[in-house]
Chains A and B, each alone.
Chain A
Amino acid sequence: MPAPELTPAPKPQPEGWPGAPPLTTVDEVGAALTAAAYLPGRDLATACFLSLRLERPLLLEGEAGVGKTECAKALAACLGAPLVRLQCYEGIDVHQALYEWNHPRQLLAIRQQEAAATRALDVFTPEFLIRRPLLQALDPPDGRRCVLLIDELDRADDEFEAFLLELLSDWQVTIPELGTVRAAQPPAVICTSNRTRELHDALKRRCLFHWIDYPNLEEELAIVRTRLPTVPAALARQVVAFVHELRSLDLYKVPGVAETLDWAQALVALGEDRVTPETAEATLGSLLKYQEDLVAVRAAGSAALLARARADA
């Protein structure tokens, strides 16, 4: 069967990333991400730069809330490209990730055609295709090259990983009824994983890898100041120092950067300009999500933690 083009006429696409500043060095990528309110470490900027330059997917791992997903959003922002997001979950398959035929519509078209008694109708054409995120990323409807975020890949099953292999290395997928769809220009791909299971080596080999660690005190302070400019400097410093104290405790789930930001926002919403033991107790729920952890922190004493935090800051 001759494979009809999905898009009627392949539009000539400009090379690279139109609308993006030149990103030819690590410094430029770092600066662009910073301008998008995301502060990458030098290592992460290097990894992003390489991912763009070598057109390789970037696999980001790290504890929850260190900014893996945000990194993809920031990258899309600084490239001026649309972000296509595929949230993985258990049981995700081709129909939810790539494409599905619009069966009700096909049926209606067949009935219509019967009533009109015109010539035979092909219902396996692009107009009956529902494009899911992966297909959108490979063959964007408006022709704009995009950033593809495959989020929490560890939640999907290993079969789905195997399916991604062709896509991530050759930038093409096959739809049996239509033929092979190839990306004119590959999207920038960010995969994230929380490591609830080990991803398969074959997939990892196709990606560049970066582990995002918790930022140190100064870095995290800079993140809070960038993300939440309304938070007073003194409060931000106190918040970050307190969170760093919490990270040194033996908790089931230590707070990530996302929780730090949540907490700072919560304190601002309460109209606080500094952290007191009472406000800390009252708002701990923004930072800690396990009852056992709340008990542990209360036992350690917010006042003592605050005092230690003040000494560090």
Chain B
Amino acid sequence: MPDPTRAAPEPAPALVRRLTELARALRDAGVPVGPGDLLLGLRAVEAVGLRRPDDVAAALRASWCRRREDQALFDRLFRRLLGPAAAVTRPAPATPTPVRRTVVPAPLGGAQPPPPDGRPPRPPRGVASVEERLRRLDFAACSPAELVELERAMARLRARPPLRPSRHRRPARRGRQIDWARTQRAALRTGGEWLRLEHSRPRPRRRPLLLVCDVSGSMERYARLLIRFLHAVERSTGGTEAFVFGTRLTRITRQLRSADPGVALAAVGEAVPDFAGGTRIGESLHRLLTRWGGRALGRGPITLVVSDGWEVGDRAQLAAAAARLQRASWRLLWCNPRMGDPRFTPAAGGMQAVLPYLDALRPAHNLESLEQLSDLLDTAQRRRPVRPQRPRAADVGALGGGDA
């Protein structure tokens, strides 16, 4: 690699200072520009020369912005700090205030759990332990103290990542393919005679998970705990893509990456503009398919949609989106918190529309149902799901209890 320190003539100190300022401004705004990048940027600017500002901008953009999302920010800062308006004689412009994540209570779901006040939770009654009672308790019927308990229990929830076979191979004693390199090496130990053939087998890899959660008004009482659930799944499996929607779709994959559930929840609350608003499921799923299709659906994910299906938008669009989502997913699972109600029938207009395209419909109203759900995710389900070529009304009824 060419030595970055080799840059022949010393660059002008003014240029160095201003590039450093720009780099610092970018860093403050969350774009990682390290000292190595700074050197690279200097060399890049020297290479293109200072004649044309757009060349300088392009050179720095190519050196410093490794994500498309950062480019608009870069252009803005570049104009501000190095554009024609920023004269050299001007005092150093103030760097923008750093973006700091503050942990504020998120507007997630109605009842906020109060700060622990030292009082122990309600003592157990009868034979069922607190744990047992909590597990069956509908989220919508929880007291604030019980919510705190539930969130704590949720943190212990683990989902094993579902697996899929891959084109990677691992050594094996038996298998369909012979591993020539290992066979040869084994032969060296036996005087060059091939006494044993070594084999290889496909190595299972993690199947991606796509989590989509409804946070509209009708889901308000469930949203906070469900996002905790998404967080618990993300923490234990890794590599998930997560979205929430009300009237519009928001990607919360990055927000959920934080190890601390409180921080993650706060970040989600900050990122989502439409908590507890209306619902446009069809439009949101359509957006997921068009805008994020390549990223989120690239490798046959297990897709989990959590929603009560109370659609106010276009049902035909919802059905079309669900059909497409099913085809792009290895499994399309739908969880409905309303299924906790024994009188539940999938009558809400949205549910009717999507039912023909679900591989399974599950409840998600209490801890127990979520535990069962995380078990469902990791039952490896190696075979391709059998799906009706054209769903008939008769198939719809069988889906609720479908494959597990």
Interface residues of chain A, those whose CB is within 8 Å of chain B, are 25-26, 42-43, 46-47, 49-50, 53-56, 58-59, 61, 89-93, 95, 100-101, 103-104, 106-107, 110, 114, 157, 169-171, 186, 194-198, 201, 204-205, 207-211, 250-253, 292
Contact = CB atoms under 8 A, between A and B. Distances in A.
Nearest to B37: A205
Contacts of A95: 181
A145 to B, nearest CB: 15
Contact of A42 (B1, B54, B320): B54
Nearest to B321: A292
B62 interface: yes
B17 interface: no
Given A169-B1, A209-B65, A50 B48 contact: yes
A258 B71 CA distance: 25
Given A91-B166, A169-B1, A292-B324, A194 B63 contact: no
Given A50-B59, A252-B290, A201 B32 contact: yes
A39 to B, nearest CB: 16
Given A26-B48, A55-B1, A209-B66, A46 B58 contact: yes
Interface of B: 1-2, 32, 36-37, 40, 43-44, 47-49, 54-55, 58-59, 61-63, 65-68, 71, 166-169, 180-181, 183-184, 192, 194, 205, 286, 289-290, 293-295, 298-299, 320, 324
| Interface residues of A, dominant DSSP | mixed
Nearest to B61: A43
Given A106-B184, A209-B62, A61 B294 contact: no
Nearest to B286: A250
Contact of A90 (B2, B47, B49, B166): B166
Given A194-B294, A211-B68, A252-B293, A171 B62 contact: no
Contacts of B54: 42-43
Contact of A210 (B49, B62, B294): B62
A49 B1 contact: no
Contacts of A204: 66-67
B181 A103 contact: yes
Contacts of A186: 1
B65 A195 contact: no
10 contacts: A42-B54, A43-B61, A46-B58, A47-B58, A91-B166, A92-B167, A110-B192, A157-B205, A186-B1, A204-B66
Given A90-B166, A91-B169, A101 B181 contact: yes
Given A93-B168, A210-B62, A50 B47 contact: yes
Given A205-B36, A292-B324, 15 more contacts: A43-B62, A50-B63, A55-B1, A55-B2, A91-B167, A101-B184, A107-B184, A110-B192, A157-B168, A169-B1, A205-B37, A208-B44, A209-B67, A210-B62, A252-B293
A90 B167 contact: yes
A110 B207 CA distance: 44
A208 B286 CA distance: 34
A102 to B, nearest CB: 9
Contacts of A61: 68
Given A43-B58, A46-B62, A53-B47, A196 B294 contact: yes
B68 A201 contact: no
Contacts of A90: 166-168, 299
B180 A103 contact: yes
Contacts of B68: 61, 211
Nearest to A250: B290
A102 B59 CA distance: 44
A195 B295 contact: yes
Nearest to A194: B294
Nearest to B205: A157
B211 to A, nearest CB: 16
Contacts of A196: 294-295, 298-299
Nearest to B56: A46
A42 B62 contact: no
Nearest to B287: A250
A160 to B, nearest CB: 10
Contact of A91 (B67, B168, B184): B168
Contact of B320 (A55, A194, A292): A292
A197 to B, nearest CB: 7
A197 B58 contact: no
A110 B43 CA distance: 53
A95 B179 CA distance: 12
A208 B58 contact: no
Nearest to A52: B47
B319 to A, nearest CB: 12
Contacts of A194: 294
Nearest to A113: B192
A17 to B, nearest CB: 16
B69 to A, nearest CB: 10
User: Sorted from nearest, which 5 A-B pairs have the closest CB atoms?
Assistant: A91-B167, A46-B58, A204-B66, A196-B298, A103-B180
Nearest to B178: A103
Contacts of A54: 2, 40, 43-44, 47
A197 B298 contact: yes
B199 to A, nearest CB: 14
Contacts of B62: 43, 46-47, 50, 58, 208-210
Nearest to B293: A252
Nearest to A211: B68
A53 to B, nearest CB: 5
A106 to B, nearest CB: 7
A310 to B, nearest CB: 27
Interface centre among A91, A157, A170, A209 (most CB of B within 10 A): A209
Contact of A46 (B59, B167, B181, B194): B59
Contacts of B194: 107
Nearest to B49: A25
B295 to A, nearest CB: 6
A198 B70 CA distance: 14
A171 to B, nearest CB: 7
Contacts of A171: 1
A93 B168 CA distance: 8
A49 B47 contact: yes
Contacts of A91: 166-169
B44 A89 contact: no
A38 B229 CA distance: 50
Contacts of A89: 167
Nearest to A111: B192
A200 to B, nearest CB: 10
